Amino acid sequence: MATFSLSHVKLSGIAACVPKKNESNLDYDWISEPERQLLIKTTGIENRRIAERGTTSADFCFAAAQNLLKELNWNAADVEILVFVSQSPDYFLPASAVILQDKLGLPKTTLAFDINLGCSGYVYGLSMIASMMSNTKIKKGLLLVGDVSSISLNKRDKSTYPLFGDAGTATALEYDEQAARMDFNLQSDGSGYNAIIIPDGGSRQKLEDASYKEEEVEKGIIRSRANLKLDGLEVFNFSLREVAPNINALLQYNSTTIDDYDHFVFHQGNKLMNESIRKKLKLDPAKVPYSLKEYGNTSSASIPVTIVSQLSEQVKSKKNKMIFSGFGVGLSWGSVALSTEHLICPPVIEI
Amino acid sequence: MNIDDFIKKVENEIDEITPGVLKPDTNFRDIAEWSSMHALILIALIDADYNVTITGEDLRNSKTMNDLFNIVKSRVS
């Protein structure tokens, strides 16, 4: 079982950047008024930020990182590792992390690479960067996590379009011998790869004219093979089945209980799903923040977006023990238990 | 467990249903404007109250409240 601990690395700050342009699901006229109301009530998603074409995940992460470096008073020249997590990178190749190294003015001694994960990506990204920093004793690192999902969505697909928002985030980490341990439990099940997928555009099926042919899959769902496809019921059942046991196994591994934690920050998929998981774990609603209403499902960015937009006062002012849990596309899921103290956490910025 | 309780629970969860309207032989797709959101609500309810997983295929293979109830009943441990 991929449960493990990492020492000597701490979180120093988190920042987020979203597009200026807001879209409200109250205006989503592809579906009827009662259906709109039911969608908003069930998913909890009212507003989503949508990137202008040509502005990418890397751009939002870049703006968040610049803001965070400034707030931390860090010199870019001192950062020696940059990890970028996204499923909407700038190019097939090269890796966006390498381009960001140069744009942010990090030295050529920086190690930089991309990770291709979505909803679970923040937790996986934390495990990768903390593991490398713990082993290499690199002093300062940046984890940049974000997605522009809107670029892959079909406006006439009610099963995807009203759910996703765009965002980019930056998390700063430091090597510190005194840092509290981070405990992880990471899992995968590729048998469900087809539950959330963009079928065409990769190496298995390159984009061709037929990729853009739109088909009505069922009432209210029109999409092409270049669009994101989401099997909502499949993902819902996966999350109900796997997330609570994953967290329970983590608690067993590090010998803690639910009551030891101040906050549980979940990937923001939909409200009904997260509330079902919350009830299974018997968590106090006050400990489970949501950013769904304002930002929708921001894919890999959802956990840091939720912290920055909902918990900034708490993480800035005191010590917190928290569990983060990401789950979805892959299927891939994982959780981390960690402590933070006086995080630098500037308000969400817009570009 | 009995079907009357099951129907009451469903009526409680789905606001669009007027209590008393749902019968064992009601086709649940006739509920208001049936949508995938209702499917999620049913799945969440059955998972929470009966600890039973209902898949998309189960829903496709069921028509009435009774069909659904029988699936749940057959899987309750």
Pairing of strands A319-328, A332-341: antiparallel
CATH of domain A1-351: 3.40.47.10
pLDDT at A311: 97
Structure tokens belonging to residue A119? 């909803």
pLDDT at A210: 97
CB A26 within 8 A of CB A173: no
pLDDT at A23: 98
pTM of the model: 0.96
Q: Which residue of A has its CA nearest to B15?
A: A38
Among A residues 34-53, those touching chain B with beta carbons less than 8 Å apart: 34-35, 38-39, 42-43
Q: Which of A234, A270, A276 sits opposite B48 (nearest CB)?
A: A276
> Using CA atoms, how far apart are residues B11 and B18, in angstroms rounded to an integer?
7
Do A35 and B39 lie within an 8 Å CB cutoff? Answer: no
pLDDT at B28: 83
- Which residues does chain B have within 8 Å of residue A272's beta carbon, measured at their own beta carbons? 40-41, 44
Q: Which amino acid, residue A35?
A: E
Within a 13 Å sphere around the CA of A312, how many CA atoms are in the beta-carbon half?
Answer: 13
Residue given tokens 């209902």 in the structure block: B54
Q: Which of B35, B41, B53 sits opposite A241 (nearest CB)?
A: B53
Ranges of beta strands (E only) in chain A are: 3-6, 9-18, 22-24, 47-49, 81-85, 111-115, 140-147, 167-175, 182-188, 196-197, 215-218, 221-223, 229-230, 263-266, 319-328, 332-341, 349-350
Minimal CA separation from B3 to chain A, in Å:
23
> Which domains occur in chain B, in start order?
3-75 (1.10.1200.10)
pLDDT value at B27 more than 80: yes
Q: Which residues contact A35 (CB under 8 A, 6 or more apart)?
A: A158, B33, B35, B37
pLDDT at B19: 84
Torsion A188-A194-A198-A200 (CA) sign: positive
pLDDT at A162: 97
Give the phi and the psi of residue A134 in degrees, each rounded to 5. -65, -40
Would you list the domain boundaries of chain A?
1-351
Q: Closest Cα partner for A173 from A209, A202, A144?
A: A144
Do A273 and B44 lie within an 8 Å CB cutoff? Answer: yes
How much is the ipTM here? 0.91
Do B43 and A237 lie within an 8 Å CB cutoff? Answer: yes
Within a 13 Å sphere around the CA of A189, how many CA atoms are in the beta-carbon half?
Answer: 17
pLDDT at A329: 97
Within a 13 Å sphere around the CA of A295, how many CA atoms are in the beta-carbon half?
Answer: 36
Backbone region of residue A250 per phi and psi (left: phi > 0; alpha: psi in -120 to 50; beta: other values): alpha
Residue given tokens 């990090």 in the structure block: A106
B37 touches chain A (CB under 8 A): yes
A24 touches chain B (CB under 8 A): no
Do B40 and A234 lie within an 8 Å CB cutoff? Answer: no
Q: Which residue of A has its CA nearest to B44?
A: A276
Backbone region of residue A54 per phi and psi (left: phi > 0; alpha: psi in -120 to 50; beta: other values): left
pLDDT value at B32 more than 80: no
pLDDT at B36: 86
| Residue B14 pLDDT grade (very low, low, confident, very high; cuts 50, 70, 90) | confident
Q: Kindly give the parts of chain A with pLDDT less than 70.
A: 1
Give the phi and the psi of residue A293 in degrees, each rounded to 5. -60, -40
- Which residues does chain A have within 8 Å of residue B43's beta carbon, measured at their own beta carbons? 233, 236-237, 240
